[in-house]
Chain A
């Protein structure tokens, strides 16, 4: 994979994945992804343009006969894309770190070599921009995590973690919106409803909003 050119690949005949070059997951790059999504959502073969973390998935209304034209359009649109600053709301989440609600905090300690206090301090300091939604209904992928607490995803995914779990997967952090399986390291828990299918839109947060974690309690 070249680090200077975007990568295009297919997900069967259902979707195409566009990945921005580099691995930094920077906000300006993500703002260009939002701009690209807005543009690609207008194309006739595209059902949805779904931002990921510095990448974009286009799901198809109908699989195109040939991908060449779509590839060209995407690359041209990326070249032309200017960062789209979406300024949303700021939401504060009180977090209980550690204990039963944070069973993998010790694994983050072991991987990073930092103390529990250092990890919590580093985790609760930044304002995290919502980069994208995905994983499960209402779940937000956040940018802005400090690389010092990055911890690889678990070798074997956990079959069920509860809604409200605050976790770290690689260089990312997030909060699960409902009970389900996860490959991430859960370090704490919070109480917040992120999704209601009866609302329009059904998700509480959208790209451009900001999350802050406040330390409610630390269980050692």
Chain B
């Protein structure tokens, strides 16, 4: 259905993650921006958790080997179908032979770093341990357990019944659910077990200062640079389960936020956890950019999950209305 034209591009097949294999040491993987992946799928009438291509390096180009309906979400990367410009967060229709090109992500109010290419019917790769996400460590899931390369051909799965509908789009969540502090993208953080092991000054600085996303940041983790965190207590930790979003602090004091390909366990002290409802924001923050952290509570974090789900439910409802309306006209 589509053929990858770009040389090694670090793009991977992802869905909403491999839940339920932690007992074998298998982390979740899954889209760095699950909201963009789910919304792209809903735009196409897919299940929210269908597999799509996550693109972190641009330009990125594919050719449709047969006619197909697709959605582009995530970063606004000035996409073109052959020479025709496409709007971001939009559903398009390609004819066999057409090339889809994703350019460099644009700056501006919702500068982002990863785009999602969703196909009607989802990307058809085998589910391994309950998910189609690529598990790079261990080489399974996704497309042959690896990043995509030039010449790879990916097919779409069976689509829902009804004619494809294209030529419509969405207001991205970065605009619909904005969160910034002093003009800088922000994420809410729930303090974790070792939060109080850091000096009061360090904790205050963690919330008050900007943190830079260093070039040593990827799907495994974001290594941040800022005022080093100073521990007032030092303990040798016992290894324990962790989740994407956990902020570990190695002895050097520069935090590492665990991302989707993170190990499912670890032993560095944990300052806090970027809440699940905001982890997509960090997943979209480009290398070299600055972010801020906001202290939150359990109740606020659960309410944020509700708000995210309500946005997705609304997308689902509106897309359904539009698709039914188009089918009648």
Could you tell me which A residues sit within 8 Å of B by CB distance? 1, 7, 9-15, 17, 19, 23, 25, 47-48, 50, 52-57, 59, 63, 65, 67, 132-141, 150, 152-153, 155-157, 169-172, 177-181, 183, 195, 197, 201-203
- B residues whose Cβ falls under 8 Å from a Cβ of A: 19-27, 128-129, 135, 137-141, 190, 192-193, 220, 235-246, 250-252, 263-268, 270, 273-277, 298, 301-302, 305
A17 with B241, Cβ < 8 A, contacts A9-B192, A67-B298, A138-B138 known: yes
Chain A nearest CB from B156 CB (Å) reads 24
Given contacts A9-B192, A54-B238, A155-B250, contact A137 B25 (CB under 8 A): yes
CA distance A27 to B89 in the complex (A): 53
Instruction: Give the number of A-B contacts (CB < 8 Å).
Output: 176
Chain A residues with CB under 8 A of B298 = 10, 13, 67
A residues within 8 A CB of B250? 153, 155-157, 183
CA distance A153 to B239 in the complex (A): 11
Select which of B24, B275, B277 is within 8 A of A202 by beta carbon. Answer: B24
- The answer to whether B263 and A134 have CB atoms under 8 Å apart is yes
With contact pairs A7-B193, A54-B238, A136-B137 given, residues A47 and B19 touching in the complex (Cβ less than 8 Å): yes
Query: Which of chain A's residues has its CB closest to B236's CB?
Result: A170
Q: Is the interface of B mostly helix, strand, loop or mixed?
A: loop
Whether the Cβ atoms of A48 and B22 lie closer than 8 Å is: yes
Known: A48-B20, A63-B305, A155-B250. A12 touches B137 (CB 8 A): no
Cβ–Cβ < 8 Å partners of A57 in chain B? 22, 240-242, 265
Chain B residues in 8 Å Cβ range of A48:
20, 22-23
A203: shortest Cβ distance to chain B, in Å?
A: 4
Q: Kindly state the separation between the CA atoms of A201 and B238 in the bound complex, as whole angstroms.
A: 26
Q: A11-B192, A47-B20 are in contact. Are A134 and B264 (CB under 8 A)?
A: yes
Given contacts A10-B298, A52-B240, 13 further A-B contacts (CB under 8 A): A11-B270, A12-B274, A13-B275, A14-B243, A17-B193, A48-B22, A55-B240, A134-B22, A134-B264, A136-B263, A137-B140, A141-B265, A195-B25
B193 lies within 8 A of A153 (CB): no
Q: Is the CB of A52 within 8 A of B236?
A: no
Whether A65 touches B246, Cβ cut-off 8 Å, given contacts A7-B193, A53-B238, A141-B239, is: no
Alpha-carbon distance between A200 and B267 when the two chains are bound, in angstroms: 28
Rounded to whole Å, the gap between the CB of B57 and the closest CB of chain A is: 19
Partner of B25, one of A13, A138, A157, A183: A138
Of B24, B251, B264, the most chain A CB neighbours within 10 A belong to: B24
Residue of chain B at shortest CB distance from A172? B239
Contacts A/B (CB < 8 Å), 12 sampled: A11-B192, A14-B273, A14-B276, A17-B241, A48-B22, A57-B265, A135-B25, A135-B263, A136-B137, A136-B264, A172-B239, A183-B267
Asked if B240 and A53 make an inter-chain contact with CB atoms under 8 angstroms apart, the answer reads: yes
Partner of A50, one of B22, B137, B139, B193: B22
Main secondary structure of the interface of A (DSSP, over half): loop
**Least Cβ–Cβ distance between A194 and chain B, in angstroms:** 9
Whether B190 lies near A13 (C-beta < 8 A) is: yes
Cβ of B236 and Cβ of A171 under 8 Å apart?
yes
A12→B273 contact, CB < 8 A:
yes
Contacting residues, chain A, for B220 (C-beta < 8 A) = 181
Residue of B nearest to A138 (CB): B25
Give bound CA distance, A10 to B301, whole Å. Answer: 11
Residues of chain A within 8 A of B129, CB atoms compared? 197, 202
List of 10 A-B pairs having minimum Cβ-Cβ separation, nearest first: A57-B241, A134-B265, A12-B273, A52-B240, A9-B193, A137-B138, A53-B238, A203-B24, A14-B243, A197-B140
Asked if A52 and B265 sit within 8 Å, CB to CB, the answer is yes
Alpha-carbon distance between A167 and B252 when the two chains are bound, in angstroms? 21
A181–B120 Cα distance when bound, in Å, is: 36
Which among B239, B243, B251, B267 is the interface contact of A11 at CB below 8 angstroms?
Answer: B243
Selected from A14, A140, A195, the residue in CB contact (under 8 A) with B138 is A195
Find out whether the CB atom of A180 lies under 8 angstroms from the CB atom of B25: no
A178 vs B276: C-alpha distance in the bound complex, in angstroms? 28
A12 touches B263 (CB 8 A): no
Point out the residues of chain B lying under 8 angstroms from A10, CB to CB.
190, 192, 273, 298
